[in-house]
Chains A and B, each alone.
Chain A
Amino acid sequence: MKILVPVKQVAVLDEDFELRDDGKDVDVDFLDYELNEWDDFAWEAALQLQEQHGDVIEIVPMTVGPEEASDSLLKCLGKGGERAIRVWHESLQDSDPAVIARVIAKVAQREQADMVFAGTLASDHGYSQTGVSVAAELNWAKAAVVSKVNISPNASCIQVNRELEGGLEESIEVQCPAVLTIQLGINEPRYASLRGIKQAKAKPIEVLSHTDLGLQDSDVGIAGSRSRVRRMVMPAKGQAELIEGSVVEQAARLADIVKQLRGGV
């Protein structure tokens, strides 16, 4: 049984940042990158299943992203797994989640994966689309916001719990093959040891382009996307005021503000 775990190298904003000249994204100079937190939990879920069931389960992390995104694959490989896949070509730039899902689905087919564990969402863009779109592309069963997984290898079904409103959980059975999107808190992701990190560097990362997966330029990037970012904006912030003066003056100003907020004079 093979589990494919697509992970994303997400952008983290500096405290102060500026937008790109075209206004469609944040200037990369103000970004730092790290493995998406949800994907860390997804990878841990895969690692734990492998620990439970041994070699009958193979787990493979993959990402769609440039060379630098390998850091996130190394982070996964530092904890387990024997190899990883990275898909990239410059024409993949600015792809929407549907395109990314198309690429992941192609990898899943190529790998003959039985399961895909994705994160419920990515902390940078927050679409919550990629995982479920992979299921749609593959025409597989899916379960989103999964908080517990039970698998017996070779069974035709898996049991999962899903988080609902108000602390409620739903326990469902899903037909395999399936895509799960994993929720935070499903487990406690482990830390890699130094040995694990050193060994990860020796593990192979296969690099593919969209054409290796049978996709055309027109299937990916802006051309293949059905949505696009027009611009990013920063909403105006609330105003703060430093109240100065004597205690009496300060109290008077404070009273004014309270009145104003309550809709008085």
Chain B
Amino acid sequence: MARDPKHDILFEPIPIGPKILKNRFYQVPHCIGAGSDKPGFQAAHRSIKAEGGWGGVNTEYLSIHPESDDTHRLSARLWDEGDVRNLRAMTDAVHAHDALCGVEMWYGGSHAPNMESRCTPRGPSQYASEFETMTYCKEMDLDDINMVQGYYVDAAKRARDAGFDIVYVYGAHSYLPLQFLSPYYNKRTDGYGGSLANRARFWIETLEKVKRAVGDECAIATRFAVDTLIADAGVEVERDALDFVRMADDYVDVWDVNVGDIAEWGEDAGPSRFYRQGHQLPWQRFIKQVSKKPVLGVGRFTDPEKMAEVIRSGQLDIIGAARPSIADPFLPEKINQGRADDIRTCIGCNVCISRWEIGGPPMICTQNPTAGEEYRRGWHPEKFPKAGSDDSFLVVGAGPAGSECARVLMERGYTVHLVDDQDKIGGSTNSIATLPGLGEWGYHRDYREVQLNKLLKKNKESQVALGAKKLSVDDCLEYGADKVIIATGAHWNTDGTNALTHDPVEGIDTNTPTHLTPEQVLDGSKPIGNKVLILNCDPYYMAPSLAQKLQEAGHKVTIATGVGLGHYMHFTLEAPNMHRMMHELGIEVVGDVWASKAEANRIQLYPIFGDGYRREYRGPGKLPRRENTHFDWHEFDSLVVVTGRSSDNELFTGLKARKDEWAANDIKGVYLIGDAWAPKLMADATFDGQRIAREIELEDPQHPKPYRREVAVWGSPYLPGDKFEIEYDI
């Protein structure tokens, strides 16, 4: 199909400095866990987006000097010739698809803990980082300023040598240039502090120096948080930001504008729980009013109508995207081909971000399980190897794992029967997406539903059997499939079994009227009383989501938790606003407790860290510390038990127990994926489905084949011409 003329505006080239961006799709800097250490990963992940039509793609934030070392998190680095060589792989691969390639030059100040380099960071004033609370910086004197600006210039030259087209001076997310600009950090009284002109000086001088060094060959970009969202304690768009843009405009070829800081950067990478597409526009739209240069901005733009409208209405010139480009590297090309219904829409869960927050394992994506697997597993997001046999498949369970598995098997040309007793594809996603704020998570199901229906038209022998009767072990044996894949999901524990004691809680039984599982809350199958107590031992969203749902419905909710509240939501950047919401709604949270026993209308809680801080050996059968003596009864009308999950794997174990009958029924193998294998993130369940579908020809497809590893090779020095042998400086 042809592109919709309404979207033509997204495909108009636009000059940025000495370069031309071929269209308006631009992958802003974002981490993936590659940096300069995994050049294959870096090159493949960025170039797949170039192949998918993004006119510009960037590295993640890139350290310009060991003084800005973010270890334990993973950034790119451009410190030396070794890094130049490794990043060249990326620029070459991206250029092969006619896209521009950018680096985001980063100096963190106090926000960089320098745990590897052990350097002392420098900043505008001495302050303790609110993000990395262990670190202080040294206040720069004029020599320091000159030196650090020199780091930017040297790194920019290395970037040019590595083949980059766009060189950023990164001043968003509260990194160094913004620290000078913002009175929140800058307490100086010399020519670099005080008035706006003084606070802007460091940034503008740096831009000027970088432009002088590489500006003829490279476009100069700057990333600017135009409002730090703390009113006049920081930068405000209509107070300092517009004036700053006027002052710096001559040295910038393209403005990349967003809002927020680093400690709460979920205000920029807004999770769908709190923010819709285009949520930053009320701030971003001001910049074009004062700048003569192209302006680009982010805001989880996934919808071509919205993108075209944002450009047409003069709010932005270029659509920046991080998460939408991860969920669908081929988003621009699909719009170009008039295939908007094939777009894998970002669901805004921020699981991609969680990996960086955790410290930099390879990025994962809930929607796109090939993200991060391009190089090491050779997975292309849109292309699949042809089927390796005539085998036919029965996939039981159409949740995230099963529907993805069926989709990929069918893409490969296999005949697949996907069977589920629900009336809809999606499994647990169908109820999760009804939780407050999680509606967009349903895009995960929608994508698979659309694709499966298209694939069914290509293979008339394949079938998606929804609302089907639950298959028994006999049904599966007799089904006539060569291979059976079990993706039957998991359920919430009904007896309080949890991660702290690994046992049930005495008296908890969700088969009684006043105790409920999350499923029972969601399907409305049981009446819920006024006073609700949620007992939580789950690290993610279920307890806070149910609390919100019930409190908003008029119940009085208390959460008693043994593992913090929504701990993983810290990594997905949902935590700050989730906690604010708990407060605003008046939900009471009782922390660091666990339950000893429960009755119909009350539960006994104890502090996890009760008595017995001294440890001593007391003989067999005796606790080596004083037993806790503090217990409290809490009353409730309804108890919601969010203590842990267990796999629904009876079908698998049943089939396994009758392995001797497989051959007679022409069954070659039975496999287990997703939550039915072990409860896991939706992203990992989806990965399971894709993985087994791609590796199904292996002798043992249940277990993944090894992936290609990128690690330092003993015997090869990183720096060209260096040595690798152990050598002491004595």
By the criterion CB–CB under 8 Å, are B465 and A197 in contact? no
A-side contacts of B457, CB under 8 Å: 32
By the criterion CB–CB under 8 Å, are A194 and B419 in contact? no
Decide if B479 is an interface residue (CB 8 Å cutoff).
yes
Decide if B581 is an interface residue (CB 8 Å cutoff).
no
Residues of chain B from 40 to 72 with CB closer than 8 A to chain A in the complex: none
Chain B residues within CB distance 8 Å of chain A: 392, 394, 415, 417, 419, 457, 460-461, 463, 465, 467-468, 475, 478-481
A194-B415 contact, Cβ under 8 Å, with A32-B457, A71-B460: yes
By the criterion CB–CB under 8 Å, are A191 and B463 in contact? yes
Contact string against B for A residues 194-210, beta-carbon threshold 8 Å, 1 for contact and 0 otherwise: 11111100000000000
**Chain A residue with minimal CB distance to B468?**
A191
In order of increasing CB-CB distance, the 4 nearest A-B pairs are: A195-B480, A194-B480, A191-B465, A193-B479
CA distance A197 to B481 in the complex (A): 10
B-side contacts of A194, CB under 8 Å: 392, 394, 415, 417, 479-481
A198-B480 contact, Cβ under 8 Å, with A191-B419, A191-B468, A193-B417: yes
Chain A residues within CB distance 8 Å of chain B: 32, 71, 188, 191-199
**Chain A residue with minimal CB distance to B394?**
A194
CA distance A196 to B461 in the complex (A): 11
CA distance A191 to B419 in the complex (A): 9
A-side contacts of B463, CB under 8 Å: 191-192
Contact of B480 among A32, A188, A193 (CB under 8 A): A193
By the criterion CB–CB under 8 Å, are A197 and B468 in contact? no
B-side contacts of A195, CB under 8 Å: 478-480
Q: List 25 A-B contacts (CB under 8 A).
A: A32-B457, A71-B460, A188-B467, A191-B417, A191-B419, A191-B463, A191-B468, A192-B463, A193-B417, A193-B475, A193-B478, A193-B480, A194-B392, A194-B394, A194-B415, A194-B417, A194-B481, A195-B478, A195-B479, A195-B480, A196-B480, A197-B480, A198-B392, A198-B480, A199-B480
**Chain A residue with minimal CB distance to B417?**
A194
> Shortest beta-carbon distance, B478 to chain A, in Å?
7
> Shortest beta-carbon distance, B724 to chain A, in Å?
57
- How many A-B contacts if CB must be within 8 Å? 30
CA distance A193 to B469 in the complex (A): 12
**Chain A residue with minimal CB distance to B456?**
A34
> Shortest beta-carbon distance, B338 to chain A, in Å?
10
A-side contacts of B415, CB under 8 Å: 194
Max chain B C-beta neighbours (<10 A), residue from A32, A192, A194: A194
Interface majority SS (helix, strand, loop, mixed), chain B = mixed
CA distance A199 to B479 in the complex (A): 12
A197-B479 contact, Cβ under 8 Å, with A191-B419, A191-B468: no
> Shortest beta-carbon distance, A192 to chain B, in Å?
7
- Other contacts beyond A32-B457, A191-B463: 7, CB < 8 A: A71-B460, A192-B463, A193-B478, A193-B479, A194-B394, A194-B417, A195-B478
B-side contacts of A188, CB under 8 Å: 467
CA distance A71 to B460 in the complex (A): 8
CA distance A191 to B462 in the complex (A): 11
A-side contacts of B465, CB under 8 Å: 191
CA distance A99 to B468 in the complex (A): 38
**Chain B residue with minimal CB distance to A71?**
B460
> Shortest beta-carbon distance, A246 to chain B, in Å?
11
Max chain B C-beta neighbours (<10 A), residue from A193, A196, A197, A198: A193
CA distance A196 to B392 in the complex (A): 13
> Shortest beta-carbon distance, A133 to chain B, in Å?
30
A-side contacts of B461, CB under 8 Å: 197
CA distance A197 to B480 in the complex (A): 9
> Shortest beta-carbon distance, A248 to chain B, in Å?
16
> Shortest beta-carbon distance, B312 to chain A, in Å?
9
**Chain A residue with minimal CB distance to B415?**
A194
CA distance A32 to B394 in the complex (A): 25
CA distance A194 to B478 in the complex (A): 9
A-side contacts of B417, CB under 8 Å: 191, 193-194
Max chain A C-beta neighbours (<10 A), residue from B468, B478, B480: B480
> Shortest beta-carbon distance, B446 to chain A, in Å?
17
CA distance A32 to B459 in the complex (A): 12
> Shortest beta-carbon distance, A103 to chain B, in Å?
25
CA distance A194 to B475 in the complex (A): 11
> Shortest beta-carbon distance, B458 to chain A, in Å?
10
> Shortest beta-carbon distance, B417 to chain A, in Å?
6
B-side contacts of A199, CB under 8 Å: 480
B-side contacts of A193, CB under 8 Å: 417, 475, 478-480
CA distance A32 to B457 in the complex (A): 8
**Chain B residue with minimal CB distance to A192?**
B463
**Chain B residue with minimal CB distance to A194?**
B480
CA distance A193 to B463 in the complex (A): 9
> Shortest beta-carbon distance, B99 to chain A, in Å?
31
B-side contacts of A196, CB under 8 Å: 480
> Shortest beta-carbon distance, A55 to chain B, in Å?
21
**Chain B residue with minimal CB distance to A16?**
B1
CA distance A47 to B285 in the complex (A): 64
CA distance A195 to B463 in the complex (A): 13
CA distance A196 to B481 in the complex (A): 10
**Chain A residue with minimal CB distance to B475?**
A193
> Shortest beta-carbon distance, A173 to chain B, in Å?
33
**Chain A residue with minimal CB distance to B480?**
A195
**Chain B residue with minimal CB distance to A198?**
B480
> Shortest beta-carbon distance, A17 to chain B, in Å?
13
> Shortest beta-carbon distance, B688 to chain A, in Å?
22
B-side contacts of A191, CB under 8 Å: 417, 419, 463, 465, 468
B-side contacts of A71, CB under 8 Å: 460
CA distance A196 to B467 in the complex (A): 19
CA distance A192 to B460 in the complex (A): 12
A-side contacts of B468, CB under 8 Å: 191
> Shortest beta-carbon distance, A176 to chain B, in Å?
32
CA distance A196 to B417 in the complex (A): 12
CA distance A194 to B460 in the complex (A): 12
CA distance A109 to B467 in the complex (A): 38
**Chain B residue with minimal CB distance to A188?**
B467
> Shortest beta-carbon distance, A239 to chain B, in Å?
16
> Shortest beta-carbon distance, A245 to chain B, in Å?
11
B-side contacts of A198, CB under 8 Å: 392, 480
CA distance A160 to B418 in the complex (A): 35
> Shortest beta-carbon distance, B436 to chain A, in Å?
29
A-side contacts of B480, CB under 8 Å: 193-199
